[in-house]
Structure formats: C-alpha cells, structure tokens
Structure 1
Amino acid sequence: MFFDMIKIWDWESLFPASQDTIKWEGGPMNCRKCGVALPEKAAFCPACGVKQAVSARKPKRRGNGQGTVVKRGKTYTAICTKFIAGKRITFSKGGFATKKEALDYIPNLKPAPCSVAPKITLKELFERWKPFYSPRVGETTMQGYDAAFHWLQALHLLPFAALSTDDWQGCVDACPRGRRTKENMKSLGMALYKYAATLRVVDHNYAQYIWCGSDTTGTRPPITMEELETIRKAIGREAYADYVYCMCYTGFRPTAFLSLTKTAFDPVNGCLCGGIKTKAGKNRIVTISPKIMPIIQARAACAAPYLFPSLETGKMMTEAEFRNGVFKPLMAKLGIKDRTPYSCRHTFSNLMKNVPGSDTDKAALMGHMDASMTKYYQTPDYESLKRITDLL
C-alpha cells in the first residue's frame, strides 16, 4: 500500500541529488541495507531511509610522531614526542587560544638541531667530552678512561654516529688486557653515547650491548682470613707487613692510603680522614679498628709527614712503587699468591660483611655513594654460607 502511494510522487523532488549521491555504473542500484531497488541518483533509500553514500574517512593531517593538540580547560596545548638516545621525550607548550594556533606551533617543538658536526669522529668527541666529564670524577678514573680509549684506536677516525655494536665489540674482543679493562672500554662507550645524545649526534646507545667476556683475568680476589693472620704475624719481622695489614682494615684505595698524612689521623675520635677518586670517596671519615690502632699511633709518632712513607726515603710512594717494590716481594716471602694491593680493599669489604651494621654506613666507610657497589666488592666464602644454612 505504501509503495503504491509513493509511485505517483516525484522521486527527484523527494530524494534530490546531493554531494553524497553514489555514482553507479553498470546497472540498477539497490539499497546497501535492505536491498530495495533505488531510483537513479537517490541519496537515501525510500524504504528504510538509510543514506546510501558512505563518506570516506578523512586522512590524518599529521602522521605518527608529528605531534598533536589537546584541549586543557579553555586553552589548547601542542604536544610532540621524540625518541632521543632510546628514551621517549615529550615536548609541549600550552596556553593557545585556538586549536589552529597550537597546530601551527607544533613544528617549533622539535628538538634543536645538532650543535656539532654530524660526522664528528670518535676522537673528536672524546676530546670534547673529557673537559666536560673530568670535573665529575677523580683523576684516576679519567686515567682509566684514557687507557680504555687507547684500545679503541681502530675507531678513532670514524664518524661516531656511524659506529655499530659490532665495531665496539671488535675492539673489545681484540684487547689483550683483562676483563676490567674491557669493562672500562664499555663504560667509556656508554658515557660517550650519553654525551653525544645531548649534542643531538645520536639517538641510541649501542655501547650497552657490548659483551666483556666471561674470563676472570684482572679480577681482585680478597685476602683470606688465614692469609691475613700470616701477614699479622709477620709484623715486626718483615718490612711493610704493618702497611698491608692496615690497608686491609681501612679499605682505602692504594693511592689514597699512601697519601695519608699525619694530619689525617684524629687521635681524639680515633679515625682517619682521607680518600680520592670519587665525591663520596674524597675526604671521608674511616674509624680505626682496635686491631690496627697501635700501628697507626706508632706511625703518627714518626718524623715523616706521611703515615705510610717509604722506609728508605721517608717520602710518599707511588702506587707502582708500592705494588712492585713492596707488596709483591712481601707476598712472595709470605707465600701468598695472586694478590694485588687492591685485594686489601676487597678484604676490608669482606670483613664488614660479617659485622652487623647498616648498608649505608658500610658504603660510607668504603667511599661508595651506592651500597650496591659495596656488595660488588664482597665475595661469598664457606664460613658465611655455612652460617646461613646452619640457621635454617
């Protein structure tokens, strides 16, 4: 009945052509919903009323990573996200009265252009980085980085941005030194990539994937309790045995230990004040164990300005002089093998492991800002492990 009534109507006036009219070629057109045959140029179905033209989705004006605009309160904010050195960083600016103003500002949110030549070489970047980084660490740390840089000689003249993990790994694998030197090479690479990211030279840190190997060459095993007792018994009989014994109970780095002056000893509070290398390690307070207090008091009464000088000259010894002329000969006489002056520092950390106290205080005695670094110096031993299982 309904269709019979509308047959007499003017289809064109009832369903006028519009911009949404579907252009159909090759036969009659049916409704996309109910299937009823439609008059020519119909924009709507006369039976169900469904619009026949499907509006195409408007394409995005900006692709991914090209920014967006959000409304916050009564103003608009332009936002642009970039990945720099592997980290997602968002740049934004708000306060725009209209959306168009915010959209127009998006290009200004991009990171600043590279402040140095994009093809800067590893050597050029290293020379630029040294004065930037050296005030943050001690002299010995920078000397370690200089040595690590030497073993990267094959990469010195290559553009830093073009270096891959394979390039770094090749130098590390070719280095004839031990694991510690290779770890320094990786640490230097990590620091250079972070610095290069601030200059917009790179946006990813490829040094983080360097593998330093599983060998233990260059590690510093601590002096055992039996060996420590051997050193104690040698005091008064073997020259410099008291020096090594004191090193094991103070935890100073070799150079810091040898540079202690008599003014570093506070007899009233029973402590030493000294240290080098890091901010936490410089001029730190180390309380003196009763086991070495008589030795420290005797050394402070000597005429030399240093607590632990050369017994021949009375002058301060360098770390190399102490290691080669004092420590190694003494260890050979006592039958102690595979130990270095740094083993004394690891021994001090191991001794603290068995003493109750907060990790923060133990880290302060070691000259560490992070307690986790102190645990790195500690080595599991049979007695400590057995003490734990006996309490289970």
Structure 2
Amino acid sequence: MKNPNGYGSVIKLGGKRRKPFGARITTGYSNNGKQTFKYIGYFETRKAAMQALAEYNANPYDIDLEKITIREVMDRFIKEKEQTIENLTLKSYKMYYRYLKPLHNKKIRDVKTIELQTFIDSMPQLSTGTLKNLKSFIGLVLKKAMELDIIDKDYSQFIKLPKHRNKIERKVFTEEEIAILWTNLNEFDYVDVILILIYTGMRINELLKLPKENINLEENTIIGGNKTKAGKNRVIPIHPKILPLITRRMSNKTFFLIPNKSEEGYYLYNNFRKNEFMKIMKKLGMEHTVHDTRHTFATMITDVSTNESAITQILGHTNIKMTRKYTHTNIEKMRKEMEKIN
C-alpha cells in the first residue's frame, strides 16, 4: 500500500549494513523539482523502520540531528516504553526525567562526559543507589539516541559515582520545635500540614495525595493509602490536637485535602518540599527533612505506648492484607494509644 503524500517512506540501503532499512521523510523539493529527504533513523528490519515512521507521523519531532535535545529523546524513549514496562518502572523513569531537568534543553550531541559528571555531582541529596539508577536511565536514553544515529557514543559509561553516601540521619522534632510550629500556625501557610504529618505519622506523598473522601469527621479517622501493602487502606485515628486543622481544610472546595496552588490537583512532593517545607524550616531556624515528621511521630508514640500492634497498624509497618477489616475495637485501641501523645 502506498503511503499518503508527505508521510515519508522506507527504503533498503545498499551494501552490507547492520541496519539496512532507512526511514525518511520529505523535507521539500530541489530547484529541479526532486524531493529532498531527511532520515529519522536506520533499522534492522523493514517492520521496525515502518513503525518508527508511523510514530514520527503520529508525534512529529525535530529530526535535525544538530538540534535534537535530551528532552526530545527522553520523550520518545518513555513513549515507546510506557506500554511495555511495569507501572512502577514507568514512574521511576518519569522521576529520573524530572531529575534531569537542568539538561532538558541541551543538544544531546553536545553532552559529553564532563556535562554528565557535573550534573551527577550537583545532586548531593540523592543516595548512591538512586544515582546508580539515574546513571542507568541516562545510559538508556543515550542508547536510544545511538539507535536514531543522533550520537555514536554513550558517555554515561564514564560517569563516576560516589563510593558511598551515608544514609540520611533522621532527626526528630523536639518538643520546643513542635511548640514553635503551633505558635506560627497562622503566620505561614502549610505549617498545619507539617503538624498533621507529625501527629499522624503519614508519609508525605500519602498525605499530599489524600482525597477528602478518605476522611471521616464523624468517626475522626483517615484512610491511609500508599507505598506498602500494610500502608494501604489502613485506618488512622485523628489526634484531637490536629482535628481543627483537618476540619478547616475539609471546608475548602477541593478534591484533595492538600491541593496545589491551582487547587485542581494534589501538591507534588518536590514542589511542596522546595516551596513550602524548606522555606518554613529556614524562617523558623530549623533543620529537618520532610521525612523527619514521620520519624517524630514514631518516636513520640513509642515513648508513650507499649502496644506494638496498635503502633505498627497506625504506621502501616505490618504485612497486613489490603482487604483487612478494621473493627470498631481495633480503631479505638489505636486511638487510645495515639491520644497518649501530648
């Protein structure tokens, strides 16, 4: 079947080639009326070349090899993979995509070892394991660029990772610091979110993605829900101290308890951490990570309670089934332990 005008074509190139099929598009016409072409890539089979041509026509991109950016190659790579990889892997790829934002608009042909090494060295907040995975992702992106004949060398193989980075040491919020947060409740937006985290032990993304429908103000409970099996669909009693904070946020006409600035979606973790949490910490003279709130709750409740079953259920650490049914007695036991916290 003949392709539509302007669609492009696949031709078999002469000679002994590992990738003999070229996918090309028409870019114009010469002075004597002949078509001019540009190749979007070379492939081992005609079928692969036709697939690439179809994908290009569905989502055209800049095929001027001198201008193609890292972001364009990443977009193409992720689009090709999203139907064939597990959802968790796809989420990881998108996270690495965001990490690479400083390099997004750089022409991929101009990115050499020095640029990649400088980028990796500028990410001291990431663990060695995360950096290793990020390096692997960069390698996959550069491999895709090599397949498209944009570059001919994978410079990610020369990236040197730190030997070991110590695990982040968690610091609990002291009683004095928690008192300061309460004092400044009406001074800074989102201090209430920090206090809710401290008094529920919820993971940050768990709270940021919490829909209001998961909050029951009649029974004063929250249905938690992410990361681990034990963490999903668990009931968290609302501590009396933060009940007014949650009630106030429930009065807003938003789907999520902690909406983003546009109030149309939830607040992304990186944005919340950078734009809210770290600014509040700086203004109040505190040095903490967001995850210190959960560590603080775990410390506070273990200081006042010996009921390990209730504690692990609240924190979502036990390997319970998602379908577990919480009886009223179970909830009241957890509430009793939680309310021992001052």
TM-score, normalised to structure 1's length?
Answer: 0.42
Structure with larger Rg? 1
TM-score, normalised to structure 2's length?
Answer: 0.48
